[in-house]
A and B are shown apart, each in its own frame.
Chain A
């Protein structure tokens, strides 16, 4: 029992560090003033990956039924997809 918990603490720490790194990357890209299709898609992708990590690891949805992760993943696809679509339209 103890061991499982310390394991999940370690994985939470790893996730936390990844999230911090991705946040700093996002900030750097913003400061560098990168624009255009690929920068937009990259940033959006990073944001959505981060949110999925929070859902799966912090909210611990990866241990739950598929439907709950499905809802979160659906959010990723629909909200992320629609935002991307709107931005691509403005670039076209």
Chain B
């Protein structure tokens, strides 16, 4: 029996090794499917936020002022910097420098920790002010989006921790670093999403 797939093209794209010198996606393709799916989820949430706001402009503008733009901005800098560290970590392992790679990634991990702490302080302030997802539509989106993103930061840190552990035990080399690239791609996605989330929810009005 012949199994003719209507999806073969999709798979071929994923296995594509170009003759023109173009590379595949960095890291494991399976994780990239996941990254695209996650981007889709956030994309839908971003657009839903914007359109819901269009019906409650006053409410959104008013509630938005209660957010700390400064802590949001600091967190953006923190994530951007940790992403930059991860880039350096990947290029270190490509040269076979396991130690350096490990240090860059530890730096990225610690910055992730700072993000988490700042975020918890923010959540705590809202909790103390008796604000919940049922308070109004703005806070529903604010809390949902940031909490969901928060969980991704935690997830990314767990992935980084595994990679740090492995890289410091010489588990990767200049020839075999797909695992590092995979984790790095996930971490960049976390950064990518926050870069849109921050101005959208904290600043633009």
In the complex, are there CB atoms of A and B closer than 8 Å?
yes
Q: Which bracket fits the contact residues of B?
A: 35 or more
Number of interface residues of A (CB under 8 A): 52
B146 in the interface (beta carbon within 8 A)? no
Is A86 within 8 A of B199, CB to CB? no
Q: Which residues of A contact B (CB under 8 A)?
A: 1-2, 5, 8-9, 12-13, 15-16, 19-20, 23-24, 26-27, 29-31, 35, 39-40, 43-44, 46-48, 50-51, 54-55, 57-61, 63-68, 71, 75, 78-79, 82-83, 85-87, 89-90
Pull 22 A–B residue pairs with CB atoms less than 8 Å apart, ordered by A. A2-B95, A12-B88, A16-B87, A26-B76, A27-B203, A30-B199, A44-B199, A47-B198, A47-B199, A55-B188, A57-B87, A59-B188, A63-B22, A64-B25, A65-B24, A68-B25, A75-B39, A83-B46, A83-B47, A86-B47, A86-B50, A90-B57
Contacts of B26 in A (CB 8 A): 59-60, 64
Is the CB of B77 closer than 8 A to any CB of chain A? Answer: yes
Chain A residues with CB under 8 A of B83: 16, 54, 58
For the complex, give the distance between the alpha carbons of A61 and B109 in Å: 23
Beta-carbon contact of B185 and A82 below 8 Å:
no
Docked complex: B162-205 residues within 8 A CB-CB of A: 185, 188-189, 191-192, 195-196, 198-200, 202-205
A87 engages B39 (CB within 8 Å): no
Residue of B nearest to A33 (CB): B205
Question: Could you tell me which B residues sit within 8 Å of A by CB distance?
Answer: 13, 16, 18, 22-26, 36, 39, 43, 46-47, 50-51, 53-54, 57, 69-70, 73, 76-77, 80-81, 83-84, 86-88, 91, 94-95, 185, 188-189, 191-192, 195-196, 198-200, 202-205
User: Known contacts being A64-B22, A86-B53, A86-B54, is A5 close to B91, with CB within 8 Å?
Assistant: yes
B204 and A75 form a contact (CB under 8 A)? no
Q: Give bound CA distance, A51 to B198, whole Å.
A: 12
From the candidates B16, B69, B86, name the one contacting A65 in the complex (CB within 8 A): B16
Contacts A86-B47, A90-B53 given; 4 further ones with Cβ under 8 A? Answer: A43-B203, A54-B195, A60-B26, A82-B47
